[in-house]
């Protein structure tokens, strides 16, 4: 792996995401190996040309620590195009360094962390001192074998659910991000039931396939699960089929989640907040 330390002018960037005013990405790149990673477009914008996403990691350095008074009341998401607890965080501790600023400032920014990693547990000492923080744990299915196929270097679904338990018992607000839902593979009802024991909110996002990773995902499904390939591929064969499938799925989710706190992010639009 090509690992570099790079000088960054700032560490907080304005965001266009629906639920985040600002984002913090302490790293460029991510080596969790998710076959559906939409963040790989970052390679082109960060001077990595045709380097394969996951084969390089830039560790941001040299930026001024954020003056959080400017962000009072704003939402700041850690990890929009990287996992802030990717394996390099164990050594470089860039996320931890920034969380210290949040813990020591007392400023009520609405910090949010989105990760797949159990490493977030290391920072419980800081997380419990940050007002308004939420930690989202993302997972797509409970099946460890399937998770290994789609996210080869990320912790197992069981470790992620256990992480939710530990965070929740430490008093941290936790949400589950069931994402991406793979049609015919993601047992989202089981994930929601299991995660719901510890999560305050369950968020759902569908699998979108576009650009360079569409072929990659289809090829891997064809190779690993040939018996399911035709049904899976059909969902992505036309806009109409795609739209109808996910509209129906959203209806099932709404029924299943009735009375509970949830959000659905399908078609990259917020459909409903309970």
Binding residues for ligand SF4, rule: CB under 6 A, are 30, 32, 34, 37, 39, 82-83, 116
Burial letters 156-186, b for 16+ CB under 10 A, else e: bbebbbbbbeebbeeebbbbbbbbbbbbebb
Q: How far is the CB of 118 from ligand SF4 (least distance, A)?
A: 13
What SS3 class is residue 110?
strand
Please, what sign has the CA dihedral across residues 111, 256, 231, 140? positive
Cα(183)–Cα(246) distance, integer angstroms: 9
Which residues are CB-neighbours of 73 under 8 A, at least 6 positions away? Answer: 108, 109, 110
Q: How far is the CB of 141 from ligand SF4 (least distance, A)?
A: 14
Q: How far is the CB of 260 from ligand SF4 (least distance, A)?
A: 25
Nearer to ligand SF4, 76 or 137 (CB): 137
Q: How far is the CB of 37 from ligand SF4 (least distance, A)?
A: 3
Nearer to ligand SF4, 34 or 191 (CB): 34
Identify each DSSP E strand in the chain by its residue range: 2-7, 12-14, 22-24, 27-28, 56-61, 75-78, 110-115, 134-139, 173-181, 201-206, 262-266, 269-273
Q: How far is the CB of 29 from ligand SF4 (least distance, A)?
A: 8
Nearer to ligand SF4, 6 or 274 (CB): 6
Nearer to ligand SF4, 28 or 235 (CB): 28
DSSP letter string over 6-29?
Answer: EE-S-SEEE--STT-SEEE-SEE-
Nearer to ligand SF4, 33 or 196 (CB): 33
β-pair type (22-24, 12-14) = antiparallel
Nearer to ligand SF4, 180 or 183 (CB): 180
Q: How far is the CB of 43 from ligand SF4 (least distance, A)?
A: 12
């Amino acid at each position: 792996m090509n690992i570099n330390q790079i000088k960054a002018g700032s560490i907080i960037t304005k965001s266009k995401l629906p639920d985040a005013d600002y984002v913090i990405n302490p790293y460029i790149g991510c080596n969790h190996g998710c076959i559906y990673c939409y963040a790989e477009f970052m390679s082109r914008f960060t001077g990595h040309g045709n380097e394969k996403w996951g084969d390089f990691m830039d560790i941001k350095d040299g930026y001024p620590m954020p003056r959080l008074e400017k962000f009072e009341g704003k939402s700041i998401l850690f990890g929009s195009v990287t996992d802030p607890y990717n394996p390099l965080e164990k050594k470089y501790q860039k996320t931890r360094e920034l969380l210290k600023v949040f813990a020591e400032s007392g400023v009520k920014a609405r910090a949010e962390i989105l990760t797949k990693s159990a490493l977030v547990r290391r920072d419980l000492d800081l997380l419990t001192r940050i007002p308004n923080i939420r930690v989202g744990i993302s997972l797509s299915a409970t099946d460890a074998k399937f998770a290994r196929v789609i996210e080869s270097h990320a912790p197992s679904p069981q470790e992620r659910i256990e992480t939710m338990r530990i965070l929740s018992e430490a008093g941290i607000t936790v949400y589950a991000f069931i994402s991406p839902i793979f049609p015919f593979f993601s047992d989202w009802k089981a994930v929601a039931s299991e995660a719901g024991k510890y999560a305050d909110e369950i968020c759902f996002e569908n699998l979108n396939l576009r650009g360079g990773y569409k072929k990659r995902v289809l090829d891997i499904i064809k190779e690993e699960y040939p018996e399911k390939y035709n049904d899976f591929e059909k969902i992505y064969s036309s806009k109409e089929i795609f739209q109808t499938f996910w509209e129906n799925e959203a209806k099932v989710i709404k029924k299943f989640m009735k009375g509970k706190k949830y959000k659905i992010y399908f078609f990259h639009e917020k459909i409903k907040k309970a």
